[in-house]
Amino acid sequence: MSKGISGLFKGTRGFLHALAEDVFDRFMPNGDKNIDFSRLPGSTGIQVKKRLTDKQMTFLTNEYGVEFAQVYERGPGKNGRGGKYTIYSGTVNSVTIPVNRNTVLINHTHPGGTASPSEKDLKLMALIKQAGSPQRTSAIIPIGKETIKFTSKGKKR
Ligand SMILES: [Zn+2]
C-alpha cells in the first residue's frame, strides 16, 4: 500500500517539475522529437537544455502561428561557452528579445515564409553589435523555404 502511494507521489513530482520548467518533449507520429511549452514563452522567454533544430523551430511556428526566436546567452567560458539557450515568441510578424553584450540571436522564424530580413531584423543586428556582442551573422527560418543567413547589411549570399 505505502509502496503504491510512494510510486504515485514520485510520478506526480516528475510531472510538476516538467510543468515548472514549462518545457516538455513531444514525440510525433513520424518519430520526430519536438520541444513544446506549457505556455508561450513571450518576451520573457523559456530556457531549453540545448539548441533547437530548424525543424523544431518550424514545428513551434506552425503549431502556434507566431514568430519564434532562439537566443544563445554567452557564458563565462572560452568563446562564450557555458551559456544558455532561450526561446522567445511574438506575434505573427514580430518577436522581441532582450539585447546585451552576451546576446547571440541564433535564428528566428518567419511564419509567412518571407526569405529576407525585415528592416527591424537589420536594426536588431546593428543593436546586438552596438551592445558589444561579437555576433555579426544570424539566420532566418522562413516557413516552407530554406534557412537564410543575414547581417545588419542584409541577406548573405
Ligand atoms: Zn525577421
Separation of 65 CA from ligand 1 center, angstroms?
A: 14
Separation of 119 CA from ligand 1 center, angstroms?
A: 8
Give me the architecture of the 38-155 domain, per CATH: 3-Layer(aba) Sandwich (3.40)
Separation of 42 CA from ligand 1 center, angstroms?
A: 16
Closest CA to 90 of 110, 114, 116, 73: 110
Distance of CA 23 to the CA centre of its chain: 12
Separation of 70 CA from ligand 1 center, angstroms?
A: 12
- What pLDDT was estimated at residue 8? 44
Residue 84, C-alpha cell as written in the block: 544558455
Number of C-alpha atoms within 13 angstroms, CB side, residue 119? Answer: 0
Separation of 21 CA from ligand 1 center, angstroms?
A: 27
User: H-helix or E-strand containing 149?
Assistant: strand 148-151
Domain boundaries, the chain: 38-155
Separation of 122 CA from ligand 1 center, angstroms?
A: 9
Report helix, strand or coil for 106.
Answer: strand
> Across the strands, what pairs with 26?
34
pLDDT band at 133 (very low <50, low <70, confident <90, very high): very high
11-38 residue pLDDT tens: 443 444 444 478 999 999 899 999 999 9
Q: pTM value? A: 0.85
Q: Is 102 exposed, middle or buried (0-12, 13-18, 19+ CB in 10 A)?
A: buried
Separation of 107 CA from ligand 1 center, angstroms?
A: 9
Cβ atoms of residues 153 and 125 within 8 Å: no
Number of C-alpha atoms within 13 angstroms, CB side, residue 140? Answer: 30
Residue 17, C-alpha cell as written in the block: 517539475
Number of C-alpha atoms within 13 angstroms, CB side, residue 84? Answer: 7
* pLDDT cut 90: percent of the chain above it: 81
Report helix, strand or coil for 36.
Answer: strand
Report helix, strand or coil for 113.
Answer: coil
Separation of 58 CA from ligand 1 center, angstroms?
A: 14
Taking residues 117-137, report their average pLDDT: 95
Mean pLDDT over all residues of the chain?
Answer: 88
- What pLDDT was estimated at residue 106? 98
Separation of 18 CA from ligand 1 center, angstroms?
A: 30
